Structure 1
Amino acid sequence: MKNISFLTLFLLCFTNSISSQSLSLEYDSYSYSSPGEVNEMKIYVTNETDQNLPIIVTKTVITDLDVVSTFCWGSTCYTPTTSVSTYSEVINAGSTSSAFTGYVHDMPTNAEVPVRFCFAVESDISDKVCAQVTFSSMSDAMSLGENILDFNIYPNPSSDFIKFSSSEIISSEIHIYDLLGNTLKVINNFDDRIDVTDLKSGIYILSTNIENNSVFKRFTISK
């Protein structure tokens, strides 16, 4: 029960899955970096329809702080003054795109910068879905973020297997959950890799214990 409680807290704090009529998003609610660094956030966009859709992006920075925010959509990266992408990115029917990254450059000290990114069908901009994310350099948030980032999964995204690295001793049991908290896999006595060929494309949570502490890490399957 203790592990499930930690998992629930992790899911509530760090992940969101929202949808519109045609699109759905999966993303972390918070992104952490040290002051002065570039803080970046990936958002995964899924076309839920049976047609290929060209998608445009809008950006709204929700703060009075003097910050520099940019984003890349597809092969185009936009300037800080750009709030609407000038090019659309086509997402094939039923596919998920990982072609979006949002940035806040030169993060202020002990600051939180909320930014809203909206993804809309180019032919009907009312058919849209938005994600409000917070870029943070808060010291307490960094402590939590560093605790999670100490545990690394690679390759990420993956299609067939994952490996992980940590400077600490990892327990012999690995749990993999979906974003609803359902247990999908329990792995014991693993070698240097974990087979994930049975998982569908999407975002998952891997958990284990490091020195008796529960650790969770998000990873993506892309096929």
Structure 2
Amino acid sequence: MFSKSLTYLLAMASLTYAMPTPELEQRAVQYKLYTGDGTNWPAQTAWASFDTMWANNQAILSSSCAQFGQANNSPTEIAEILSAIKSVSSSTGVDTRFILAITMQESGGCVRAPTSYGGVLNPGLMQDHNGIHNCNSNQQAQNPCPAAQITGMITDGTAGTASGDGLKQCLAQSGVTGARASYIAARIYNTGSYAAGADLGKPKYGTSCYASDIANRLLGWAGAATPCNLPNPS
């Protein structure tokens, strides 16, 4: 359990990020659809800073659990997501911005997101591959969600699990470097595979808009619902 003083400090840290400066707010962008193999997609130099992405997503982080019929994230839980992303990024070498983008795409950053099923169980903040950490198992939600579970969810999605890959492995499988590696890794994370040179918006299965959504999130877009209307595979 957190002491009252530590809980207060974490809450204050979250509130600091919840009040972006005008400079950070200016980096919010309109959604742009990207198709193709990622070759001419935005370079990393065009990505928003992590602080800007974090600030732009505060409204969603504070309200996204309602869509699942669960209590919304508390300031302390939001601060713990931030801490987990930074810690796991440091230990895995995966960019904090990519971790945040996938987290927002998969669950809206809701610590009590339910487990989905796509051939395997996909639990938690990052809807990872059969991970053991979550705060909503068998419709039994934990409130508050313990810090260890939050860190575990981010770890499972980024470093991988005993039975499936995380972002680190997907980046390695992309076969390329730079920003394009993240776009291809996003496709792999969503569908489990990628054929070199294929259109990232035309997967054999999965969510067609996934990679384009991630590219936009990395640029600073922070919409709750994507305006992308690419048809999903039937």
Shorter-chain TM-score tier:
under 0.3
Rg: which structure is higher?
A: 1
Q: TM-score, normalised by structure 1?
A: 0.24
Larger helix fraction of residues? 2
Q: TM-score, normalised by structure 2?
A: 0.23
Larger strand fraction of residues? 1
